[in-house]
Structures are given as structure tokens and as C-alpha cells.
Amino acid sequence: PITIFWHRRDLRTEDNAGLYRALKSGNPILPIFIFDKEILDDLEDKDDARVTFIYEAIEALKDDYRKHHSDLEVFYSKPEQVFNKLIKEHKVAAVYTNHDYEPYAAVRDKAVKELLAKHDIEFKTFKDQVIFERDEVTKDDGKPYTVFTPYKNKWMQKLKPFYLKAYPTGKYFKNLAAFKASAIPTLKEMGFGKSDAKFPDKGYEKFIDDYAEKRDYPAIKGTSHIGLHLRFGTVSIRACATDANHAREKTWLNELIWREFYMMVLHHFPKTMDHAFKPDYDNIKWINNEAHFKAWCEGKTGYPMVDAGMRELNATGYMHNRVRMVVASFLSKHLLIDWRWGERYFAAKLLDYEMASNVGGWQWAAGSGTDAAPYFRIFNPEAQMKKFDPKLEYIKKWVPEYADFSKYPQPIVEHAFARDRCLKAFKAALT
Ligand code: FAD
């Protein structure tokens, strides 16, 4: 019999928890990856850069397995169909994989588990993409935290070297099945074009030490851009957290803990993917002006900090964290457009899109989330620009016409008016 190892958001062989357990289980291991039709067919942008990124990561993974006299079988299909096929072709003892916490993944994995159970095949899953998951860091009464700081303190208390140790998969590569896989389905066969986007590299170490001083200024590259690699598991969270924990100050580690906090929240409160964490906020009467939404998406609001951020996002698939906060606040509070519209736009555009962090970030900005900015605290985009881009370097890069006021659009909404309107709308919904 063989054991299947199913890669999903863990596109690497080194320090991979589930792969390590599979390799030690005794049977030859058949590694697989599925381009999930359910997900891909729903993507509107057929040049989606993330598909190209995954594709290239899969090619590299396949090369890696080949170096170890094995291979990677890659499918373009629905997961249940793939497993039905594999069960017919092989004597399968078990399927191993790593946990995935998003609501869609939970449903998918339940269906796969049930299908395998009918054939007496075990479905074994492992924690890999976080240091602590689900119920590992809870309040003393076992309930999930809904506020970050006490969660972080408990997380730090619980951190022992054991949790950061790399899984030495390399020692067991001899247990990989020797076989030759079929060719990877081409991007074209899956209906996609190859994107020419420039992907960030995996180096994050050099950003850790000066992170606290540099992280807030969008004109400088003071943050790691590692989000995309964490999303698809082309780097190991244990490696990142180990380096972050060794640093002289822990600001960068703090950000990695935010990531886990939001994943834990989404796991326990899956409804918050499209409902306010604080339910009263679903009573807000959004204006949802389509023309304003379009101006926001295109970076033509007449607020340079907002416009620069949106143009950076449209051009590169990335936006600096400080600016994400400004544009999200502007959409939900200045324009009174439902935060879910913005969340979906980010989901379509961000290379590092992570549902838990995106929903968390948007609900923070709109005031409806855990640890939210209170609704009466409304970012002033002009003041944010003066503080975080004092020399207008970021603005000049993305909104060059700002230098010539006659060419730059008037603000689509006046700040004091928008502020007042927001306070009234939020107050009406919340009292
Ligand atoms: P660094 O600053 O170098 O941080 C390292 C890593 O820590 C990040 O890659 C990320 O994995 C994690 N991290 C950092 N800040 C946060 C945070 N506030 N919350 C959760 N994790 C964090 N992050 C995403 O990974 N995906 C998203 O879809 C996403 N959407 C966001 C939407 C809004 C409205 C806001 C305000 C924030 C969002 N963030 C999201 C959080 C943050 O902006 C990005 O993680 C960060 O800007 C990515 O840049 P970096 O990789 O250089 O991060």
C-alpha cells in the first residue's frame, strides 16, 4: 500500500509537518497537488498573478521531488474526483495533509474525509502553517480570545523551543515512492494566462531588526513582503518565528502573532468572513455609491494617500500596511461603502491575500471587528500623509500629477462633511 501526501498551502518539502509525519508512517509516499477547479473556475481574472505564483511553486516542488528520485502528481480537478481516481488506481492506506482553517477548506476537507472513510482510508491532518492553532491558546476557561493583547501574552507564555523546531523531512526522503508523474496541466489548459507580475523574494531576515522604526513609512521598503510566501507555504512559519524570536526586539514577531490571532478568530467565528464581528455593525445603512466605489478602486478620490495606495495595489498586487489602513478607513467611513466591497476588492487584487487577515483588517478599519478602532476615531487621510509620507515620496511615485494641482481631481467628498456623516450613520446603527 501507499500513503498519499496532499500539498495545499505548504508548497515546500523542507520543514513540512504533515509530510514529515507521512514519511515516517512506513509506506511509500505519493505526493500530490490539486489545482482545485472549484476555486480556479470562480476566479474572474484569468491572468491572476497568484495562479502563476502557485504554478511556479509547483514546478519547483516537482523538481525538488525529482531530485530525490520521486515526483509530484498534479491534477486539475475537484478534490473528491481526484481521490476517487487514486483509490481505484492504488491501494491507498492513508492520506496525510496539513490543516487549512478557511471556511471553504473546512467543508472540502470534511467531504474528503467522509469519502475516504467509506473505503477505510485514514485522513490524517497536521498543524503546519501556524505556531499555535484553534484551541491551543485560549482563555483560562477554554474560550477563544477575542482581544489581541491577552492572546499575544498567552501565546508568548506558551512558546517553547519545541514549537519552533523544524521537521527534518530530509532524513526520510528515501521513503518517497519512486515513480514518474504525468506532466503538470498547463496554465492554458486551466484557462489561465501567465502573469508577468514580479513576485517578492523569500528573504525576510534583513527586515526584522529595524522593523519598528521603518514599518510605518510606505516610501521605504521597511517590511518583508513575505505574506505571499506565508500564504502558500513557500517559507516555513517556524523558520520565520525562530528568527523573529531571536531578534533584539519583538515587533516583527508581534505581526506574525496577529496573523495567527486572525486565523484563530476565523476558525472559531467563520461567520465573520462576511458578517460584522460585533453584530450591531450590520445595521449600518451604507450608502454604497457605485461611482464613489469606482473612484476608490481606480485611485481617483482626490485624496493622494488613498489614491497612491489603490494605484500601488492595482499595479503591483501589494499595498503597504499603513496605507491599507488609510484606504480601508476611507472607504468604510468617509464614503460609507460596505467594508465587504473593499474586502472583496482586496481579495481579488492582493498577492498576499489571506482571508483571515483581510477580513480582520477590514473589520478593524470599519470598527466592527475584534480590537477595532472605535467608530468615532476616523483617520484623516491628509494628516496620515503628512505624518507617514512627510516628503511626499510615496505620493510622487504613485500620483505624479499631484505636483500639478490643476491636473489632480478634487476630493470626491469633503473630509469634515464625511466625518460628520459617518458619525451620524454609525451612531444610528449602534444605539
Ligand atoms: P510584514 O510587515 O513584514 O509582516 C510579516 C508578516 O506578518 C506578514 O507578511 C503577515 O503574514 C503578518 N502580518 C503583518 N501584519 C499583519 C496584520 N496586521 N494582520 C495579520 N497578519 C499580519 N495581511 C495579509 O497577509 N493578507 C491580507 O489579505 C491582508 N489584508 C489586510 C487588509 C487590511 C484592510 C489591513 C489593514 C491589513 C491587511 N493585512 C493583510 C495585514 C498587513 O497589512 C499585511 O500582512 C502586510 O502589510 C504585509 O506586508 P509584509 O509581508 O511586508 O509584512
Q: For 135-182, write each residue's pLDDT tens digit.
A: 999 999 999 999 999 999 999 999 999 999 999 999 999 999 999 999
CB 108 within 8 A of CB 81: no
Q: What homologous superfamily is domain 279-430 in, according to CATH? A: DNA Cyclobutane Dipyrimidine Photolyase, subunit A, domain 3 (1.10.579.10)
Q: What is the pLDDT, as a whole number, of residue 350? A: 98
Quote the CA–CA distance of 290 and 375 in Å, as a whole number.
23
**pLDDT mean over 340-357:** 98
Mutate which of 312, 329, 352 to test ligand 1's pocket (most atoms within 8 Å of Cβ)? 352
**pLDDT mean over 126-132:** 98
Q: What is the pLDDT of residues 94-125, one digit of tens each?
A: 999 999 999 999 999 999 999 999 999 999 99
Q: What is the pLDDT, as a whole number, of residue 242? A: 98
Segments of the chain assigned to CATH 3.40.50.620: 2-128
Q: What is the pLDDT, as a whole number, of residue 405? A: 80
Q: What is the pLDDT, as a whole number, of residue 374? A: 87
Nearest to 276 by CA among 394, 388, 360, 167: 360
**pLDDT mean over 390-419:** 95
Segments of the chain assigned to CATH 1.25.40.80: 129-166+208-268
Nearest to 375 by CA among 311, 428, 305: 428
**To the nearest whole number, what is the mean pLDDT of the chain?**
97
Binding pocket residue ranges, ligand 1, CB within 6 Å: 207, 215, 223-227, 230, 255-256, 258-259, 262, 321, 324-325, 328, 346, 350, 352-354, 357-358, 360-362, 365
Quick count: other Cβ atoms within 10 Å of Cβ 44? 6
| ipTM field | 0.99
Q: What is the pLDDT, as a whole number, of residue 75? A: 98
Segments of the chain assigned to CATH 1.10.579.10: 279-430
Q: What is the pLDDT, as a whole number, of residue 312? A: 98
Is position 262 annotated in a ligand binding site? yes
* Domain made up of 2-128: CATH architecture: 3-Layer(aba) Sandwich (3.40)
- Read off the pTM: 0.98
CATH of range 129-166+208-268; options 1.25.40.80, 2.30.40.10, 3.40.50.1980, 3.10.129.10: 1.25.40.80
CB 366 within 8 A of CB 422: no
Could you give the percent of the chain with pLDDT greater than 90?
97
Mark whether 44 is an active-site residue.
no
Cα 95 to averaged position of ligand 1 atoms, centre (Å): 32
CB 378 within 8 A of CB 422: yes
Q: What is the pLDDT, as a whole number, of residue 372? A: 84
| Gyration radius (Cα) of the chain, Å | 23
Q: What is the pLDDT of residues 211-269, one digit of tens each?
A: 999 999 999 999 999 999 999 999 999 999 999 999 999 999 999 999 999 999 999 99
Mutate which of 259, 329, 338, 368 to test ligand 1's pocket (most atoms within 8 Å of Cβ)? 259
Q: What is the pLDDT, as a whole number, of residue 431? A: 82
Q: What is the pLDDT of residues 49-97, one digit of tens each?
A: 999 999 999 999 999 999 999 999 999 999 999 999 999 999 999 999 9
Q: What is the pLDDT, as a whole number, of residue 373? A: 80
Quote the CA–CA distance of 330 and 343 in Å, as a whole number.
13
Residue nearest to atom 43 of ligand 1 (CA): 321
Catalytic residue, candidates 339, 341, 364, 398: 339
Cα 357 to averaged position of ligand 1 atoms, centre (Å): 7
Q: How confident is the model at residue 301 (pLDDT cuts 50, 70, 90)?
A: very high
Could you give the percent of the chain with pLDDT greater than 70?
100
What is the layout of strands, in order, in the sheet containing 122-126? 73-77, 29-36, 2-7, 92-98, 122-126
